[in-house]
Amino acid sequence: MIILGIESSCDETGVAVYCSDRGLLAHELHSQVDLHAVYGGVVPEIASRDHLRRLLPLIRQALAGAGIQRPDLIAYTAGPGLVGALMVGGGVANGLGLAWDCPVVPVHHMEGHLLAPMLEETSPEFPFLALLVSGGHTMLVAVAGLGDYELLGTTLDDAVGEAFDKTAKLLGLGYPGGPALARLAEGGDDEAVALPRPMVNKPGFDFSFSGLKTAVMLEVRKAEAAGDFEARRADLAASFQRAAVDTLVTRSLQAARNKGLQRIVVAGGVGANRLLRSEMARRFDGDVQYPRMEFCTDNGAMIAVAGALRAAQGSSANEIRAQPRWPLDSLVPPGELETA
C-alpha cells in the first residue's frame, strides 16, 4: 500500500510518500521559519496562507520523486495545532481523496511524533515509554500498543521547546531558539550557573519549565548589571540546557521504573537535542530509540507512517477534520470508537 502523508499543523509544510512494504519513497518539507522569525513566533494567519501556497507543489514533487501517479491512501494531520493551518491540510487531503477515490485518514500530530521511529528499519516494539518533547508539548506516555496510551505526566506551564525558545530570546538568539541555544551552549560551562531542576523531587511525572526560564532571566539581569552579559551568554545557555535535559531524563527514568518499561522512545523537536540523546543513553540501562534527526521535528513522513499503521488495522474517516485541541489519551486502538 502507498500512503501520501500531509503535515500542516504549525509552521512546516511536510509531504511524504510511504510504502508499507518498501518504506519511505519520498519526502518534501518547506519550513516557514524565515516568515515568522521577524515576528519572534508563529503568526497563525501567515502559516495558513503559506501552507496554501506550498502544499500542492510539494505533493507533486513528492509523487514525482516516488515515481507514482496516485497513492492508495492519504493521511493528514487533523490536530492538535493551529486551526487554519489544519484546515488547509485537511481540505487538500480530502479533496484529493475524492478526486482519486481513495480513503483518507485523519492523524493525531503527537501520535505521528510518537510513531516516527517506526520509519526506521529497527523500529521499536511495544510496549515503551514515550517522551514527547516539542514546542507545544512535554509528555510522558506509557504506550502499550497502537492507540493504547496512558498519559503519565505533562507540563504544568511551558513546554520544554517553548522554554528553549524563550530562554534563547533572553540570550539574544533568534527564533526558533532551541537549535541556536544548543549551538551557543557548546562553548559554555554547564556548571557555571546554578539553576533549578523543577519538579524532579515531587511525586508523579509532571514537568514545569517556566521557573527555569525565570531563573535564567534573573541571571541575565544580574550579568547585565555587572556588565558581563556577553561573556556569560554561553555559560547561561549551557547551564540552562543541562538543567532542562537533567529534568527530562530524571523524570523519564522515574516513569520507566514505575511502569516497569525497558524501552524509551524520545520524539518531537527537542528530541533532536544532542545532550538529551547522550544523557538518556548514558543514564538509562534499557533501550533508547529516536526517529532520525530530520524526523524529530515536524514532517510528512511521520504522518504517513501513522496513517499506514492505523489504516492497516481498519481506521479511516472521510470527513474534513480539524481539531486544534485533541488530547492524546483520548485516542483508542483502530476499530474502537473514540470517546472525546
Torsion of CA 188, 190, 192, 197, to 10 degrees: 150
Contact in structure between 145 and 124 (CB atoms under 8 Å):
no
- Least Cβ distance, residue 221 to ligand KG4 (angstroms): 23
Contact in structure between 9 and 85 (CB atoms under 8 Å):
yes
Closest-CA residue to 133 (of 164, 107, 174): 164
- Least Cβ distance, residue 70 to ligand KG4 (angstroms): 29
Contact map string, positions 267 to 306, toward Zn ion, x by CB under 5 A: -------------------------------x--------
- The only residue of 128, 298, 305, 310 in contact with ligand KG4, by rule CB under 6 A: 298
Q: Which stretch binds ligand KG4 (CB under 6 A): 29-37, 134-142, 190-198, 279-287?
A: 134-142
- Establish if 12 lies at the interface with Zn ion (CB under 5 A): no
Q: How far apart are the first and last CA of the chain?
A: 30
Cα distances from 234 to residues 190, 207, 279, in angstroms, run: 9, 25, 20
- Establish if 272 lies at the interface with ligand KG4 (CB under 6 A): yes
- When CB distances are held under 5 to 8 angstroms depending on the partner's kind, the choice from ligand KG4, Zn ion, none that residue 300 binds is none
Side-by-side strand order, sheet with 138-145: 148-154, 138-145, 128-133, 263-267, 287-289
- Establish if 176 lies at the interface with ligand KG4 (CB under 6 A): yes
Query: How many residues of this chain interact with ligand KG4, rule: CB under 6 A?
Result: 19
Q: Is the peptide bond before 80 cis (omega within 30 degrees of 0)?
A: yes
Contact map string, positions 191 to 230, toward ligand KG4, x by CB under 6 A: ----------------------------------------
315 contact partners, CB below 8 Å, separation of at least 6: 105, 334, 335
- The only residue of 50, 165, 219, 246 in contact with ligand KG4, by rule CB under 6 A: 165
Task: Using CB under 5 A, list all residues that contact Zn ion.
Answer: 134, 298
Task: Using CB under 6 A, list all residues that contact ligand KG4.
Answer: 10, 134-136, 161, 164-165, 176-179, 182, 268-270, 272-273, 297-298
